[in-house]
A and B are shown apart, each in its own frame.
Chain A
Amino acid sequence: MSKKNCYVCNKQGLSRKEIGLTKKLLDENATRFYCIDCLAEYLEVDKEFLLDKIEEFKEQGCTMF
């Protein structure tokens, strides 16, 4: 899989969690991705909150993360 960059700030090489979060919350077939900071800003939530959500998704067995 090719490396993905942030659509907003162009942060290079987004992590599996960042790619997974964009897919989970916005579009499973997403072609543009957000880094965790830009996604938090776009969704108007705290970054920590999103990190907690990732843990919830993992506990639910979601394989995106």
Chain B
Amino acid sequence: MIYVDNAATTKLSSSVLDKVLPFMADEYGNPSSLYSIGVKAKRAIDVARNQIAIAIGASPNEILFTSGGSESNNWVFQSIKDCYHNQPLHIITTEIEHHSVLNICHELSKNGVEITFIPVNRNGQVSPVAIENALKPHTRLVSVMFANNEIGAIQPILEIGNILKERQVLFHTDAVQAVGHLPLNVSNLNINFLTASAHKFNGIMGVGFLFKRANIKFQPLILGGSQEQNNRAGTENVPGIVAMGHALEESMSILDTEYQRLRKMTELTIEGLKSKISGIRVNGCSDRLPGLINIGFDGILGESLMHMLDLKGICVSTSAACTAGENKISHVLRAIGLSEECARASIRISFGRYNTFEEVEMIVNAICSAYAKIKGISHQII
């Protein structure tokens, strides 16, 4: 199998697995217990909290463990709504956010919260000026994803952060695709809330974190025990948290070399495809995640290509797939101005840590072959 859908999830790092296995076997203590095995578990999650804080330029007490990106995103919006209960409340976000942001926004708008969705340009990037122009006296939160999960477009987070600091508006970024892959410092970028998910950087599914800047008024998510500074009760997912800490530390240690390597892989893929198939489009812009490309083809369905590649053991994703009989077109591809036809003719390839340059060549050849089969033409005459 060749797995090039690392924006969906990533393989657990083997060295991280070695570090986490004891916590799934003999080191099974509850971090709240006061005897030795519990203290060991508590120390292990403290280490993870510290590893994560160092990775993003935060303090350990600003890291709250969650079940992943969707929970972290929902928590920020729910908390803001609760903090400004019975007061006018305006929130700004973008049209290309993850559904865990869009859907909580739609839900809040049903409950009287004013939401502004800022469009993006053809590159998939939001304008800081558009955000500044949308600010109102009662704007309490702006939420802009760090990098888009479908086209990889990196957003102007520094510029937005500077504007919002000056205007004293809270800034949240869904950095699920960025953490562990792009240099990122919450202090330099004036970020108040940041969402991350462990399985996007070679950790385990079902665990993530929320960075919440110290001294910002915030509402607990789950009431019960005193875990996560009384903000999220419940026994911690110790193996998941331990894995997340080590996985992020490892990702940060190889970030620069991985960035260059993945960038080269995407460049070679685009070059290879363009040399063999006419009408190839790269959706979005060059200012994107290093390993991610969203490619449009001429006259075939992305879904067909994805299934054809799956037959050959290659995992890519499509932004428009037939799910439960419904044809869902990507809101991101529509937001950058693609027609329905072009959106449906696109696939996403996202390279990751365990992909090789040999695989790049195999993927290009497999796509060309599948494209020819779908088109019903000889591979030789493309």
Contacts and interface: CB of A to CB of B under 8 A. Distances in A.
Interface of A: 24-28, 42-43, 45, 49-50, 53, 60-64
A42 to B, nearest CB: 7
Contacts of B323: 60-61
Contact of B304 (A26, A61, A62, A64): A26
B324 A61 contact: yes
B134 interface: no
B179 interface: no
B304 A24 contact: yes
Contacts, number: 40
Contacts of B373: 26, 42-43
A24 B318 CA distance: 14
A25 B311 CA distance: 10
A46 to B, nearest CB: 10
Give the secondary structure class of A's interface.
loop
Contacts of A26: 304, 373-374, 376
A25 B325 contact: no
Given A43-B308, A45-B311, A49-B311, A27 B324 contact: no
A63 B325 CA distance: 5
Given A43-B308, A45-B311, A27 B325 contact: no
A60 B303 CA distance: 13
Interface residues of B, number: 16
A25 B324 contact: no
Contacts of A61: 323-325
Nearest to B324: A61
Interface in B306-355: 307-308, 310-312, 322-325
Nearest to A40: B311
13 contacts: A24-B304, A25-B304, A25-B308, A25-B374, A26-B304, A26-B376, A27-B301, A27-B304, A43-B311, A43-B373, A53-B310, A60-B324, A64-B322
Contacts of A45: 311-312
Nearest to B321: A60
A40 B92 CA distance: 51
A24 B307 contact: yes
B269 to A, nearest CB: 22
Closest 10 CB pairs of A and B: A61-B324, A63-B325, A45-B311, A26-B374, A25-B307, A62-B322, A61-B325, A25-B304, A25-B308, A43-B311
A26 B323 CA distance: 17
B374 A27 contact: yes
Contacts of B310: 53
Contacts of A24: 303-304, 307, 322
A64 B327 CA distance: 12
Nearest to A45: B311
Contacts of A25: 304, 307-308, 311, 374
